[in-house]
Structure 1
């Protein structure tokens, strides 16, 4: 058994600066210590997949990050771990607790199957792993092995934590309560749009500043953005559906002086709607979340989403976004993009369906996109 302080200070010495995840009783001491630390940042995520995306955004922005959750939530993280981290080559350190360990202490029945397959699941995802250290003199060698593999292979690395690995550590800080006013303006949104995604993306590209970051959600959004003009400040999400806003949160927290613009879709946003709650609580002033809503999954055949029955603006406002607006025209969008307001912003834009003919796929590979963005962020 080790003190939480010993492990966390060792990670700090290696450059890790952000922790995110979902609580587990095995992790209580770690989470408490990080929350109490003035030099570390803890972001409580709505689910494990969101935590992976938050940590990945921070890593792209130059802040090595650690994700913590219990193995029962490992399934929630499979999608971004396999289609974001492994595909874009984004290394993060994972601490996953081993609930339901077959030869361990008796646990609740819901942990039984996942307990049996946790190591195999990591191996299936091609994530190298080892057991979490339980002796102080094991901490540094364990972390150095992890960092070396992460640096060389650009892959996540997992530490599987058994029960009783960390000494108790109480929490001395109180949760910071952030008050806000509801600002939703959904009544101003027209029921139908006369403008396409292409027109809105072109407006965004021609209006933003050169050092702004553009993150495009899964599907046609990234492909259209690339087709209009490919730039080093752009990230084209593939897979990891619904994770782009959490990726943006990780970047925005790590680069507070740089504007981060998330281009989301209605289907993707609905898939991980809990991310809005985390973003609204963290409230980075440099994040602008733009939802392009065509009420369908266009890139998979045009199947309808349920966005026609959702008031996204009211949801964003209730989650803590400080500025919320409904946009109907490219001119309105341009005005918001040109404003110097330093508030977490949510813009809901209804768009008509349809894509340009012969829209190309990006010729730049996902790892190249990620590395290019890393380098861009380092120069800002």
Structure 2
């Protein structure tokens, strides 16, 4: 058994100062220790996939200068499969995973872990994530972290430490609340704009006009949103998700938190937003003033044939307001985008839903630049500022 401080401080020496995750009783000492150190950063995620995407955003902005750890119970691997297989693997955005081993064979546990426990190693191996047991002796910590960082640096992909019961000694939580959340934030009054719906093309052109390359990063959701942005103008400050549906917003949050010198824009779609609506609460609580969340809502899964979503029955702006966003806009008029970018003295993340028409150019190309190259290009572009 080790002390939480022994691992966290050894990790800090190797650049790990960002943590995100969903609590497990095995993880309690780590979370308690990190929460009480203002020089470390812990984000309480709504689900494990959001935590992985958020740490991917930190890695995108910080490169190897600062590292991140996603923590989860092994039951949460199911929630994390999409970003682990189509975001971190595809874009080569490494991170350290600490996965608790509930239901480990031979160790009594609750019935809900009876299946996940035995298959945890196979799940990691199937996702091509190398793993080893979490260190339980002080002299094992440094070598384990060195093996992890060496693999992460050489491959650009995640590495997992699987934590058994009783690996870490208890650490008392002496601080209440969470660091980094906006205190006493009043719900934003929803501003609504009426007008005539425009196309996605028109909306994206307006976004481009409001996102100068030198100061802004634009992350576009998977599907036609990213493809059409690429077709209009493939700029080096843009990244196009090609999978991990719903992860553009937690990834943008990680980037915005770790790079306060940049304005970060998350271009979302209604289907993607519906898939991970829990992240609205995370963005509302932690979202900094340099984070902009724009939801282009055409009421359809257009890239898969135009099947309707239920978005027309959802008041996204009111949800954003209730979750703590500092600005919440809704409307059909393209002027919503100007208001979103031009609003002054906004102390927190800002949100707008723009209702748009369906329809996409028939010759819409797929990006010719690979995900690895678009990530490398963006990292080189933002560099150290």
After TM superposition, the score normalised by the length of structure 2 is 0.95
The residue aligned with 1:318 is: 322
Are positions 1:93 and 2:96 aligned together? yes
Q: Please, which moves more after superposition, 77-86 or 202-211?
A: 202-211
> 1:341–1:355: structure 2 CA closer, same or farther, 3 Å change rule?
farther
Aligned-pair distance for 1:118?
Answer: 0.2
How many residues align structurally?
Answer: 377
Structural mapping, 1:123-272, within 5 Å:
123-176=125-178, 178-185=183-190, 188-190=192-194, 193-210=196-213, 211-272=215-276
Secondary structure of the residue aligned to 2:292 is strand
Other-structure match for 1:367? 372
TM normalised by structure 1 equals: 0.96
Gaps of 5+ in 1: none
Q: Would you identify which runs of 4 or more consecutive aligned residues in structure 1 move more than 6 Å?
A: none
SS in 2 for 1:17: strand
Question: How far is 1:163 from its partner?
Answer: 0.3
Q: Secondary structure at the match of 1:61?
A: helix
State the distance in 2 between where 1:12 and 1:193 align: 52
1:274 paired residue among 259, 274, 278: 278
1:121 to 111, 120, 123: 123
Shift, 1:173, TM fit = 1.1
In 2: Cα distance, 1:150 partner to 1:182 partner: 41
CA distance in structure 2 between the aligned counterparts of 1:40 and 1:183, rounded to whole angstroms: 29
Does the 8 Å contact 1:193/1:350 carry over to 2?
Answer: no
- 1:20-47 superposed Cα distances (whole Å, 9 cap, x missing partner): 0000000000000000012100000000
User: Which residue in the other structure is 1:330 paired with?
Assistant: 334
Give the Cα–Cα distance (whole angstroms) in 1 for the partners of residues 23 and 196 of structure 2.
42
Tell me, what secondary structure is at the counterpart of 2:377? helix
CA–CA distance in structure 1, aligned partners of residues 345 and 241 of structure 2: 27
Q: Is the 8 A contact 1:184 1:313 kept in 2?
A: no
CA contact (8 A) 1:36 1:173 kept: yes
Corresponding residue of 1:74: 77
Map 1:277-356 to 2 at 5 A: 277-343=281-347, 344-356=349-361
- Alignment-derived partner of residue 11 in structure 1: 11
Deviations 1:142-194 (A, max 9, x none): 000000000001110000000000011011111057222222436x354x842
Distance apart, 1:329 and its partner CA:
2.8
Alpha carbons of 1:214 and 1:341: their partners in 2 closer, same or farther (altered >3 Å)? farther
**330-339 or 289-298: bigger deviation:** 330-339
Relative to structure 1, is the Cα distance of residues 144 and 185 closer, same or farther in structure 2, using a 3 angstrom cutoff?
Answer: same
- 1:300-348 deviation digits (Å, cap 9, x = unpaired): 1111111111110110000000111124333442243234444310011
Shift of 1:10: 0.6
Contact 1:208 1:338 in 2 (8 A): no
Distance 1:232 1:75 in 2: 33
Specify which of 84, 95, 119 is matched with residue 87 of structure 2. Answer: 84
Are residues 1:37 and 2:37 paired? yes
How far apart in 2 are the matches of 1:247 and 1:193? 31
In 1: Cα distance, 2:332 partner to 2:261 partner: 29
- Alpha-carbon distance, 1:208 to partner: 2.0
Rounded to whole Å, the distance in 2 between the matches of 1:203 and 1:248 is 20
Bigger drift between 107-116 and 326-335 goes to 326-335
Query: Does the 8 A contact of 2:48 with 2:76 survive in 1?
Result: yes
